Amino acid sequence: MTITTLSSRELNHDVTRAKKAAKEGPVFITDRGRPAHVLLSFEDYQKLTQQRRNIADALAMPGVEDIEFEPPRVEFESQPADFT
């Protein structure tokens, strides 16, 4: 996936370039140097907005490999069950 960044001025001068870039990945549009909008292909938009039905679908979504997730390890002591 390719991420493209364009200023608002660049977008206004070359919309075709932005549309072509959106086929390869998200296009960040900046306003005064700060991200303000994101242009996506309709297919990518649908993938992001569809309801996830299971964890496998959620883990398969684009960009998930870029998410840092390091949950703390939980340690607990088991106790025997009392069936009396």
Q: Which residues of 42-65 are buried (b: 16+ CB within 10 A; e: fewer)?
A: eebeeeeeeeeeeeeeeeeeeeee
Is the domain spanning 1-40 CATH 3.40.1620.10? The answer is yes
pLDDT recorded at residue 6: 96
This prediction has a pTM of 0.59
pLDDT recorded at residue 52: 61
pLDDT at residue 45 tops 80: yes
HEC assignment per residue over the chain: CCCEEEEHHHHHHCHHHHHHHHCCCCEEEEECCEEEEEECCHHHHHHHHCCCCCHHHHHCCCCHHHCCCCCCCCCCCCCCCCCC
Distance CA 10, CA 32 (A): 12
Mean pLDDT across the stretch 16-35? 94
Mean pLDDT across the stretch 18-32? 95
**pLDDT tens for each residue of 28-39:** 999 999 999 999
Domain ranges of the chain: 1-40
